[in-house]
């Protein structure tokens, strides 16, 4: 175990000695935003100050509790890089005119949003047509709503065939299912975990991901900072890539440092980590992700959100806000 940590440190020394030395007018420090209570392998590097070494500057880690605040901080130059920004806040920010760029995928969590049908209802993917004429609880215009419609479409059910019971929040969604007022409820996070005890989804999160439905956090940057200091963005992404690779090879020596950086009890952090996937560099830049489908996905999602009053006029194209240039 100790040897694994030493090899990891040695790998980084070899990779990053001199990283960023070509930059002109290089800042003496930068700030990186991250989401509190959201653990990841990159936080091993945060805790061990590997990012400071790789970028050649002092790195300030700024905690946020939501992705919209991250967008504002990037626009106001209070942070230069946002690690693990939700893809919906990123989409909203660039649609509203913020000049941000997605440079990587921080984490993937396909099972964190789904629709649950109680076991006593007897409806599965194989007889999903029985949903026609039934009531379904979901918050209108939410990501859960978007995903639900795409799943129904895949199963051959038109949205006009189900009656949507509009809920204001997750608690109301769960209550509607628990009281038997609906035959299916769609939610995310803790609410989903609660209603999962009542039944099963029509499609698993992994099956939905295969349909192009993504659930992920992005690594985003101020486009101006990226253009002025590409070598620093590259160094940051190289460290993230190495951390993710080490997690796949030998995660146990990393766990304590990750929990410490995430300010979490290690047991809680470990449970959270078990629900995430951390993509390799090759996976991130593949057509299934940032090489093609992420741009198509956020464009389709933008149209949906705009139709439901959750977003202004969508952009004609979102591809220019996603780059694979730092995935090497």
Predicted pLDDT at 271:
94
pLDDT tens, 98-148?
Answer: 999 999 999 999 999 999 999 999 999 999 999 999 999 999 999 999 999
Predicted pLDDT at 1:
42
Q: Are 83 and 41 in contact (CB under 8 A)?
A: no
Helix (H, G, I), strand (E, B) or coil at 216: strand
Helices (H), 109-222: 143-154, 170-178, 189-195, 205-210
CA 45 to each of CA 54, 99, 135, 325: distance values in angstroms, whole numbers, following the listed order: 10, 27, 48, 22
As a whole number of angstroms, the distance between CA 151 and CA 232 comes to: 40
Assess whether pLDDT exceeds 60 at residue 213: yes
Q: Are 213 and 186 in contact (CB under 8 A)?
A: no
- Residue 25 is encoded by which pair of tokens? 């007018």
Predicted pLDDT at 24:
54
Average pLDDT score over the chain: 92
Assess whether pLDDT exceeds 90 at residue 25: no
Predicted pLDDT at 36:
87
Assess whether pLDDT exceeds 70 at residue 8: no
- Residue 213 is encoded by which pair of tokens? 């439905």
Assess whether pLDDT exceeds 60 at residue 187: yes
Beta bridge partners of 166: 138
Q: How far apart are the two ends of the chain, measured CA to CA in Å? A: 28
Q: Are 258 and 43 in contact (CB under 8 A)?
A: yes
pLDDT tens, 232-249?
Answer: 999 999 999 999 999 999
Res. 88 pLDDT band, cuts 50 70 90 = very high
Classified by CATH at the fold level, domain 111-210 comes out as D-Maltodextrin-Binding Protein; domain 2 (3.40.190)
pLDDT tens, 153-177?
Answer: 999 999 999 999 999 999 999 999 9
Res. 320 pLDDT band, cuts 50 70 90 = very high
Asked whether this chain's domains 2-109+215-321 and 111-210 adopt the same fold, the reply is yes
Q: Are 87 and 121 in contact (CB under 8 A)?
A: no
Please state at what angle helix 230-249 crosses helix 2-16, rounded to 10 degrees: 160
Q: To which H or E segment does residue 137 belong?
A: strand 135-138
Of 127, 61, 85, the residue nearest 263 (C-alpha): 61
pLDDT tens, 260-296?
Answer: 999 999 999 999 999 999 999 999 999 999 999 999 9
Structural domain spans, the chain: 2-109+215-321, 111-210
191 CB contacts (<8 Å, ≥6 apart)? 170, 171, 173, 174
Mean pLDDT of the 308-316 span: 95
Assess whether pLDDT exceeds 80 at residue 188: yes
Predicted pLDDT at 219:
98
Secondary-structure class of domain 2-109+215-321 per CATH: alpha beta
Assess whether pLDDT exceeds 70 at residue 22: no
Mean pLDDT of the 245-255 span: 97
CA 76 to each of CA 25, 35, 81, 106: distance values in angstroms, whole numbers, following the listed order: 20, 18, 12, 22
């Amino acid at each position: 175990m100790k040897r694994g940590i030493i090899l990891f440190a040695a790998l980084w020394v070899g990779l990053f000695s001199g990283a960023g030395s070509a930059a002109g007018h290089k800042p003496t420090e930068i700030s990186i935003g991250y989401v509190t209570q959201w653990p990841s392998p990159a936080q091993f590097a945060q805790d061990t100050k590997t990012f400071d070494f790789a970028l050649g500057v002092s790195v300030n880690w700024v905690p946020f509790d939501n992705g919209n605040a991250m967008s504002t901080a990037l626009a106001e130059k209070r942070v230069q890089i946002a690690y693990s920004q939700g893809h919906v806040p990123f989409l909203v920010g660039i649609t509203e005119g913020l000049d941000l760029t997605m440079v990587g995928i921080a984490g993937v969590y396909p099972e964190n949003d789904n629709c649950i049908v109680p076991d006593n209802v007897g409806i599965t993917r194989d007889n999903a047509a029985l949903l026609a004429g039934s009531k379904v609880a979901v918050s209108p215009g939410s990501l859960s709503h978007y995903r639900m419609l795409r799943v129904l479409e895949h199963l051959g059910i038109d949205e006009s065939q189900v009656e949507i019971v509009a809920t204001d929040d997750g608690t109301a969604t769960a209550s509607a299912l628990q009281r038997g007022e609906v035959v299916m409820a769609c939610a995310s996070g803790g609410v989903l975990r609660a209603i999962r005890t009542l039944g099963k989804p029509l499609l698993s999160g992994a099956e939905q991901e295969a349909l192009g439905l993504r659930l992920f956090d992005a690594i985003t940057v101020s486009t101006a900072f990226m253009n002025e200091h590409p070598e620093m963005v590259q160094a940051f992404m190289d460290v993230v890539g190495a951390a993710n690779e080490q997690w796949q090879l030998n995660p146990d020596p990393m766990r304590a440092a990750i929990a410490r950086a995430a300010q979490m009890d290690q047991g809680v952090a470990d449970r959270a980590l078990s629900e995430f996937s951390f993509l390799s560099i090759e996976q991130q830049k593949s057509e299934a992700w940032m090489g093609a489908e992420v741009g198509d996905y956020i464009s389709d999602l933008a149209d949906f959100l705009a139709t439901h009053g959750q977003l202004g006029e969508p952009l004609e194209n979102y591809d220019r806000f996603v780059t694979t240039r730092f995935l090497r």
